[in-house]
Amino acid sequence: MNIKSNTMTLHKSGEVEFLTYDRLSKIDFINHAFSTRKGGVSTGIYSSMNLSFEHDDFDKVTENYKRFCKAAGFDFDSLVASSQDHHTFVRVCKNEHRGIGIYREKDIQSVDALVTNEKGLTLVTYYADCTPLYFVDTKNKAIGLAHAGWRGTVAKIGAKVIQTMIENFGTNPEDLICAIGPAISKCCYEVDKACVDNFYSLNLDSEKFIFPKDDGKYMLDLLECNRQILVSEGVKNENIVISDLCTKCNSDLLWSHRATLGKRGTMSAFMCIK
């Protein structure tokens, strides 16, 4: 299928379709990708490229990973996955963690972000409307992925990833290239006052990401909020690229929790240092 994006490119290899960021593709020492709904073997509400083992058939999801890795150029044996629950624990991944959450059991039950500076280790995080965050330290050759739902965004998981990279890899935020999304966007993400009150307390330019409606509800732009958080941590604005693909608007290509009323599969962000 065709998509209209000024920030991302849709690729097809066999039956597998996946997205890459044009900006990140210019960084020669990494490989990255974002999965879609297309090209897997799962059935029913998970059809077809579902990358979550929860509730789906283990063998089918494993086959989905193998097909995706072959299509997008990752080593299946190199994968290490998060264990997300909308908190802000950042795991520093080593080669000894290969397979955790994929073909080895999870050893930690709350991991919403992964970072590494080890070559050949592929980080994997999960989404179906929540906001993916990609981090690439272009000087020290370190990478990170984070899952930023509204709770993780309010808790500034993006800032915590940057602090973890500073502490472990000597990262200077000015050397980071970051990408945000794809996620449910301000056109489709309606929330109530109880939710939005958490964002007003962040001391950010809320008028750019909170939009009141006449019915007492609000439209919320998690991507812009996360952008402001990254800038507040020292990332240069020109080094941040934001996806222009809303998951709900593109729910024929991308899994969206809201579009499917929760009856859906899960996408993943992938990134490794070559």
The Cβ of residue 210 has, within 10 Å, a number of other Cβ atoms equal to 20
User: How high is the mean pLDDT of the chain?
Assistant: 97
Q: How confident is the model at residue 2 (pLDDT cuts 50, 70, 90)?
A: confident
* 78-87 average pLDDT score: 95
Tokens of 176: 């980071």
Distance CA 251, CA 270 (A): 20
Taking alpha carbons only, the member of 243, 224, 237 closest to residue 174 is 237
pTM metric for this prediction: 0.97
76: Cβ–Cβ under 8 A, 6 or more apart, which residues?
65, 66, 69, 102
With beta carbons less than 8 A apart as the criterion, state whether 209 and 196 touch.
no
Residues linked to residue 148 through DSSP beta bridges, in sequence order: 131
* 67-76 average pLDDT score: 98
Distance CA 123, CA 146 (A): 10
Q: If you search the block for the tokens 């990609």, which residue do you land on?
A: 134
Is residue 51 over pLDDT 90?
Answer: yes
Task: Provide the pLDDT for residue 1.
Answer: 62
Q: Mind listing the pLDDT tens digit for each residue in 151-189?
A: 999 999 999 999 999 999 999 999 999 999 999 999 999
Distance CA 198, CA 193 (A): 9
The DSSP string of 169-183 is H---GGGEEEEE-SB
- 47 DSSP assignment: -
Q: All domains of the chain, ordered by start, with CATH?
A: 8-184+239-273 (3.60.140.10)
271: Cβ–Cβ under 8 A, 6 or more apart, which residues?
30, 31, 32, 33, 122, 123, 134, 136, 143, 145
